[in-house]
Amino acid sequence: GAVVSQHPSWVICKSGTSVKIECRSLDFQATTMFWYRQFPKQSLMLMATSNEGSKATYEQGVEKDKFLINHASLTLSTLTVTSAHPEDSSFYICSASLGGETQYFGPGTRLLVL
């Protein structure tokens, strides 16, 4: 149980385009979903926390207009990287929580912006 999926698993796009990444909790309803970013040889950094039906809470230094998060249902959250640039290339991981302290992580999405 507690499986989280992400789609796509990898994406290559041109600079200036927008990319949407989906995060789904497959067998449970997630009250809270989290989005992380992992740079090469670095740990994961929390970008934002989202609760279903409300605006996401962004971490300091994360541009909310750049990284749009929509948490439309208890099983789906989306992250849209708007007007992507090469420096946005990274590994994006989502996680979902049942309401407790344990988070279940998706497999991640590797984004490469050319």
Q: 105, 93 in Cβ contact below 8 A? A: yes
Cβ-contact 95, 37 below 8 angstroms: no
State which residue, 37 or 88, has the beta carbon closest to another protein: 37
Least Å distance, CB 106 to another protein, is: 6
CA distance to 37, 47, 63, 67, per residue, from 57 (Å) = 15, 9, 11, 11
Q: Which amino acid is at 105?
A: F
Taking the complex as a whole, the smallest distance from the CB of residue 108 to another protein amounts, in Å, to: 6
Applying CB under 8 A, the residues found at the interface with another protein are: 4, 6, 32, 34, 42-46, 49, 93, 95, 97, 101-108
| Residue with Cβ nearer another protein (10 or 17) | 10
For another protein, the closer of residues 13 and 44 by Cβ is: 44
**Radius of gyration over alpha carbons of the chain, in Å?**
13
In angstroms, what is the minimal distance from the CB of 103 to another protein? 6
Nearest approach in angstroms of CB 107 to another protein is: 4
User: 81, 19 in Cβ contact below 8 A?
Assistant: yes
Q: Among residues 28 and 105, whose Cβ is nearest to another protein?
A: 105
3-state secondary structure of 79: strand
